[in-house]
Amino acid sequence: MTFGGIVISLTSKNSFILLLSLGISSFGDFIYLVAINILILQMTGSAAAVAGLWIIGPAAALLTKFWSGSLVDRMNKRKIMIGTDIARALLVASIPFCESVFLIYFLLFMLSISKAFFEPASIAYITGIIPQQDWKQFNSFRSLLSSSAFLIGPAISGIMFIFATVNASIWLNAATFLVSALLLTLLPDIEAKTENVKLSWGILKDDWRAVFTFSKLNAYIALVYFLAQFFMIAAMGMDAQEVVFTQQVLNLSEAEYGFLISITGIGSILGASVVSAASRKLSIPFLMSTGFLLVSFGYLLYAFSFSFWSVAAGFIILGFFNPFWGTGFLTFYQNNVPLSIMGRFTSIYGIFQSILQIFFILLIGFTGELFPLRLSIIIASSVMLAIAVIQIILMNKPSKKVLYSEQAETMDS
């Protein structure tokens, strides 16, 4: 079986169906991402109203993730994924009928809550249904699909704006969630049985204790995970100011900015293709160290840019190497976090990620009002470089080499 000229050697049809389901929903997400920004801007004419979209997700996560992982670990993960896909389809399909921007915000808030369940459930389901020897390759193919969606999704949305409407683009996204759910029904469950869940404060306290106990006993794993999340958060903070920086600081046109996004997507597809084609030969430490270092270098080049071409070079570099660290890190996570607590671990650490994400978005935006925005971007990209260096040092500790072995059994407790 081939995809874009790359031979797919995943060992079962379940792998392909799951990859197809996740890929279709990713394409829908990027179609929706463009459409909802344009819809809010059309309704309000306010850049602040559009910026508010960046806060809704992490705000919903703060109210959900402290308990959602407890449910995910005890419930049928395939059914959670199917249910949240259907819920997201219905929520997205309702958006064009809203006459109030606050009602749209509410629907987006509910969408974020659904995603807070889908993400930990999908990671655990992938880990459980895909054979360990295929984790890295599966993650690389998923990264390839996400990269393709990043480029093609907005293009589809743009074409629909020309020949149809923003609403049609949003409904197309709703349809992708339904197709994704339908494909998931073709897959088997990974749990022999699930618990009859009745959450209580006592259960939540025990679950938090289990995650913190694991983190204390495996401080190295927890530190690598946290630093990787911090790396991503710093990138998101800069991305939130990307339009302002390119247009107001670098004086690029909207057309030039659109082209930058396109070449970033092309770079990401090329990088993901390389990782997918050579996933069997590229080690986890190589993928992580190369990705962390060169993505941070790409952001630094972007921060110090004074012309379109220097920005373009930075965007191509960060786009190309982003799949490297993403694939390596996710495989490291699957190798070293027990499947039995994976939902809770992902969700509880996701709370801290959401807090830091809101903080960074507001901090970069706020300091951009007090200081030159370029200075804020330079500081944020320098933080990413510092994290990359720390991660490389951690990964090169001889005593931790076994944690990056792809033959090691996933721990359980």
What's the CA gap between 233 and 184, in Å, rounded? Answer: 30
Give the pLDDT confidence score for residue 269 in this predicted structure: 87
What's the CA gap between 186 and 78, in Å, rounded? Answer: 10
Q: What is the per-residue pLDDT across 30-64, written as a single tens digit (0 to 9) for each?
A: 777 767 777 777 777 766 676 677 778 778 877 88
pLDDT at 408 over 60: no
pLDDT at 151 over 80: no
pLDDT at 380 over 80: yes
Where in the chain are the domains?
A: 2-188+199-404
Burial class (CB in 10 A: 0-12, 13-18, 19+), 253: exposed
Region 77-102 average pLDDT: 90
What's the CA gap between 373 and 332, in Å, rounded? Answer: 35
pLDDT at 351 over 70: yes
> Which residues face 7 on adjacent strands?
2
Q: What is the per-residue pLDDT across 64-87, written as a single tens digit (0 to 9) for each?
A: 887 888 888 888 899 999 999 999
pLDDT category, 347, cuts 50, 70, 90? Answer: confident
Give the pLDDT confidence score for residue 192 in this predicted structure: 63
Give the pLDDT confidence score for residue 5 in this predicted structure: 38
Q: What is the per-residue pLDDT across 319-334, written as a single tens digit (0 to 9) for each?
A: 899 999 989 999 999 9
From the list 250, 278, 292, 314, the residue with the least C-alpha distance to 393 is: 292
Q: What is the per-residue pLDDT across 216-229, written as a single tens digit (0 to 9) for each?
A: 999 999 999 999 99
**Which of 184-193, 277-286, 357-366 has the least mean pLDDT?**
357-366
pLDDT category, 6, cuts 50, 70, 90? Answer: very low
Q: Which residue has the higher pLDDT, 11 or 211?
A: 211
358 in Cβ contact with 317 (< 8 Å):
no
Give the pLDDT confidence score for residue 197 in this predicted structure: 64
Give the pLDDT confidence score for residue 368 in this predicted structure: 58
Region 126-138 average pLDDT: 87
Region 7-11 average pLDDT: 45
pLDDT at 366 over 70: no
pLDDT at 244 over 80: no
Does domain 2-188+199-404 fall under CATH 1.20.1250.20? My reply is yes
**pTM for the model:** 0.79
pLDDT at 89 over 90: yes
Buried b (16+ CB within 10 A) or exposed e, 358-385: bebbeebbebbeeeebbebbbbbbebbb
